[in-house]
Amino acid sequence: MKLVMLTGMSGAGKSTALKMMEDIGFYCVDNLPIPLIEKFVELSANSKEELQKFAIGVDIRSGEAFSELHEVLDRLDEKGRAPEILFLDSEDSVLVKRYKETRRNHPLSGGERVEAGIIQERARLDFLRQRADYIIDTSRLLTRELRAELDKIFVQKQNYKNLFITVLSFGFKYGIPSDSDLVFDVRFLPNPYYVAELRPKSGNDKEIQDYVLQFKESHEFLNKLKDMIEFLIPNYIIEGKNQLVISIGCTGGKHRSVTLANELYKTLSLNKEYGLKIEHRDIEKDALRK
């Protein structure tokens, strides 16, 4: 039997994730009262039905009874029936934005600001986050990307390390991305912008890639960058980091940074132990301004 407890911050996408779990064959129960969890696990374990995969949605809506969950999990652990815990998280600023957009109140905020409810919820959920087998930060994830992460964990059964990496190209003239963890400046490379026939193209085009990668400095930079990133990733995982944004910038974010971000993405995509996506933040901005 496969038993998963789906929990996490309000607004981080638990309802969406629970529907996705149902789509991949889980029998899902949302907001099951805490006192009934042990009974549900017992019935599921003894079930003779074809269903062998169960997911329980648990969150702060359980009210005062939520404080009992710690003891419930300890007892299940002693019986060898503890569920795997999937914790969905998101940055506070993203959670606030989501609540503002939906015009909903946070379940713990009462008459106070949304931020106050988020702070309380983080404190109350901390023990679950500490016990979690999987942590997915949905701050930058699209719905299809969340589905891919769940598929990776529960369908493909890959060794999941709770780290999601975003490789992001950008243009310095539009500002450094505020959520960057690592920022690299590739403006030291010759700029294809000054080659008339190359100017309209982007780093997604072969002509630009050939131009940028013809220089030995490009390959030396990539080799040093890959070596450093490959060193950092396992250490970030040990430290418990869940989101890593690697930003590569050039002047306009259209040629050099896009090319090198694509090359780094290709290398990192060979490792399936973490989530990965690529974004080109400013690739179209020059075209829009003209």
Give, for all 290 residues of the chain, the pLDDT tens digit: 788 999 999 999 999 999 999 998 898 999 888 989 988 888 877 766 656 789 999 988 887 788 889 899 999 998 888 899 999 999 999 998 888 887 777 888 777 788 888 999 999 999 999 999 999 999 888 899 899 889 888 888 766 777 889 999 999 999 999 889 999 999 999 999 999 999 999 999 999 999 999 999 999 999 999 999 999 998 988 887 888 999 999 999 999 999 999 999 999 988 777 888 999 999 998 765 54
**Dihedral pair phi/psi, residue 89, rounded to 5°:** -125, 170
How is residue 22 annotated by DSSP? H
Strand order of the β-sheet with 53-57 is 27-30, 53-57, 2-8, 84-89, 134-137
Q: What angle do CA 72, 63, 28 make, to 5 degrees?
A: 60
Helix (H, G, I), strand (E, B) or coil at 169: strand
* Strand ranges for the chain from DSSP E: 2-8, 27-30, 53-57, 84-89, 134-137, 164-171, 182-185, 243-250, 275-280
Q: Which of these, 255, 250, 234, lies nearest to 183 by C-alpha position?
A: 250
Dihedral angle, C-alpha 197, 199, 200, 206, nearest 10 °: 80
Instruction: Look at residue 50 in the predicted model and tell me its pLDDT.
Output: 56
* Pairing of β 164-171 and β 243-250: parallel
Q: What angle do CA 128, 131, 132 make, to 5 degrees?
A: 85
Q: Which CATH architecture has domain 2-154?
A: 3-Layer(aba) Sandwich (3.40)
Q: Which tokens belong to 127?
A: 């023990």
pTM of the prediction?
A: 0.73
How far apart are alpha carbons 88 and 78 in whole angstroms?
Answer: 25
Terminal CA-to-CA distance of the chain, rounded, Å?
Answer: 59
Domain with CATH 3.40.50.300 in the chain: 2-154
Instruction: Look at residue 51 in the predicted model and tell me its pLDDT.
Output: 62
Instruction: Look at residue 20 in the predicted model and tell me its pLDDT.
Output: 94
